[in-house]
Chains A and B, each alone.
Chain A
Amino acid sequence: MSTTTSDVGLQQLTFVRKPDGLVTRLFDYKPFLVFLCMLPTIGLLVVFLTYPLGLGLWLSMTDATIGQPGEFIGLDNFLYLLEDPIFWMSVTNTIFYTTVATAGKFVLGLWLAMLLNHHIPFKAFLRAIVLLPWIVPTVLSSIAWWWIYSPQFSIISYIVVDVLHLKDHYINFLGTPWPARWSLIAANIWRGIPFVAITLLAGLQTISPSLYEAALLDGASGWQKFRRITVPLLMPILAVALTLSVLFTFSDFQLVYAITRGGPFNTTHLMATLAFQRAIPGAQLGEGAAIAVSMIPFLIGATLLCFFGVGRRKWQQGEAND
C-alpha cells in the first residue's frame, strides 16, 4: 500500500516537475551563486582599487612622461632608484619622520587623552577645541607653520630675540637639513595629536571605573593602575590608532610639500613628496610611480609590525594572558 502511494507520488512529482534547466541548475550550484553574489563587490574593488594600483605598478615599469605614454622598460626605474642618493635619503627621511613623529604623537596624545578623561569643567568644549589641528585643512595649517618657521617673520624668533633677548639673531629653522627635519616633525606631531588623543579617549572611556576602584582598595599606586589596567585594556584601540597613524605619517605629503618642498637640497623629501616632485612637476611619470610603488612594501611592513607587535595578544583572542 505504502509503496503504491509513494510510487504514485513519485510519478506525479516527475510529471509536475520538469527536469531542471541549465540555468536553474547553475543557480542552484552553490559556488557559482557565491561567486555571483560577490561580483558587485569584486567589480567595485577592481574599478576603484585594483585598477589604480595596477596602473601604478604598470607605470612604474615604463618610461612614461607626462605627454608620452611610454614603453615597458622592466625594472629600469627601480634599478636607477637603487643608485639614486636622493631616493635613499627620502627613504631614511620617511622612516625617521614616521618613527619619531608617531612616537611623539602617542606619548603626547595619550597624556592629553588621560587629562581629558578626568572630570573637568567645559569638558565637551575642551574636547572640541583639541580636535582643531586635525580639522583645519592641512594646507592651511602648513602655511601657518611655514610662517612660524620663516627666517624673517617667525613668531618664535620674534619672541626669543626681540622680546626675551635670549639670542641676537633670528633662528634659521628650515635652512639646514637637521633643523628642517625636526621642524617638520614638530608640525606633524602637532597635527597628529588630536587624532590619537580622541581615539584613545574613546578607549579610556570604555574602561570600567570599578577596575580602578578595586585597584584603589588594593592600594595600587597611580603608575601601577596605569601600567596594569589602563595600558592592557587600551591595547586593542591603541593598535588600531597606531596602525592608522603610522600609515598617515608615512604617506604624509602636504605638510612637507607646503613648508619646504623637500628643500634644502632635497634633504627633507619624503618618499611621497619625491614621487610627486618627479612625476608631476618633473613630468617623469614612470619614475614617480616607481617611487610610489616602493612605498608599498614599507607600508605593508609597518602595518604588520603595528598589528602583530601591539595588537595580537592572546587575550584578544579570548585566551589567558601570559
Chain B
Amino acid sequence: MTERNMDTHWTPDSLRRQFPILQREVNGQPLCYLDNAATTFSPQCVLEAMAGFENSCRSNVQRGVHQLGAEATEAYETARASSAAYLNAGSPEEIVFTPGATFAVNLAAHCLGQALDAGDEIVVTVAEHHSNFVPWQQLCDQRGLQLKLIPVAANGSLDLGQLDQLVTERCRVVAVSHVSNVTGSITDLQAITQVAHHHDALVFVDGAQAAPHGPVDVQALGVDFYALSGHKCYGPTGIGVLWGRKQLWDELPPFLTGGGMVERVTAQGTRYLPGNRRFEAGTPPIAQAVGLGAALEWLTVLPWPDIRAYEDRLMRLMLEGLLSVDGLTLIGEASTEQRVPIFSFDINGCHSHDICQVLDDYGVALRGGHHCAQPLMDALGLVSTTRASLGMFNSEQEVRTLVDGLHRAMEILR
C-alpha cells in the first residue's frame, strides 16, 4: 500500500475536515449532503492521488517502457492490489477494473450468458436496482432463459421464504444486491449462497451500496462475483470493480475486444490473454483507478468499530426523527439492525420531488424518485419515495436539520 496523506485518527469532525466540498454552502445554508447512496464525496487524499497521477506520471499502462509508463503501470496495479485487499480477494488477478458497477453487471451477464441454454433460469430480486435487473432481464429475453423473482414483503424487505422453490436445478445465476439502495437492508447472502451453490448456480452480488460501509470479505461471503462502484466508495466517477474467482475469469469469454486484452493477433484469428486481463480491453480509466485505489486504502485503515458505532447512533437518531413526521411511512424495517444508513420513505399526500425541492432550500440534498428500482416501487404501489442516505462524514446536526426540514416541508406542501 502506498503512503498517502491519510488522517487515520478518527473523530466525526476530523473526518469532515478531509472533505473540501463540505465547506460550501447551498442556498445560503451549510451544505447538508444526504445523497451519498447516489454519489458521495472524495476526501483530500483521493483528490491528491488523482492530481498526483495527472501531474507526475500520466501516460498509458502496460506497454510503455519509458519511465512515465512504468510509473503509471505501477500506480494502476497498486490500485488493483488495494481493491483486492479491500475485498479480501484471493489475489489482485481476481480484480477487473470497469467503468462502473453497471458495466460490471453487464460484463458478467454477457459473459456468463454465452454458456447458457434456453430454459435455464436466472434469479434476481424484485428489489434490485435497474443495473442489476435489466442486464439479466435482457439476457433472458435474448437467450430464451427464464427470469425468476425473489419477492418482497409488504414493507419492501426481501422475502426469502420461497428461495428453495425459486432456485432450482435449472438455475444458473442468482444476482442480488448486498444492500438495497432503497431500504438500506443488508441481504442474507449466506442463505442465498447456500441454496444457489446447492444447485451449482453462481452468485453475483451487486455491492454498490455495501462496499462504502466497510471492507468486504468476498471469500467469507462465499459468492462468485462482487461488483462495486467507485463514486459511492469515496472515489471518482467512471470506475468500478468486478471481482470474480480466478477460475471463472480463466473460463469466461471476453466482453469487449481490442487492444490490451490479447496475447497474439494474426490475420487468421486472435488469442486472448488469460484471466482477468482478458476483460480490460482498451486504455483503462487509469486516473480513476488510481483515485479508487486511494479511496479504498483510505477506507481500509479507518477504525471501523468506531465508525459503525457512530453510524448506529446516527441511524437511531434518523429513525426517531423520521417516525416523528406525520404521515411518514418508512420503506423496509424500522430498525438499525442489518442495515446501512439508507432510509427511504413515503409521506402521505406529498410527492418526493416536492419534498426534495423544499429541503433544498435548507441546503439539504436528498433524492426523490424511483431510485432505479421500479419493480420494487410497483410492488409497493408507489411511484416514488424520498431517500436520505448518510456518508460517514454526516453529523447528528445534519440529521436534525433534515427532520426539521421535513416538518417545515409538510407545513408548506399540505
A and B co-occur in one complex: no
Measuring CB to CB, which residues of chain B are less than 8 angstroms from any residue of chain A? none
Measuring CB to CB, which residues of chain A are less than 8 angstroms from any residue of chain B? none
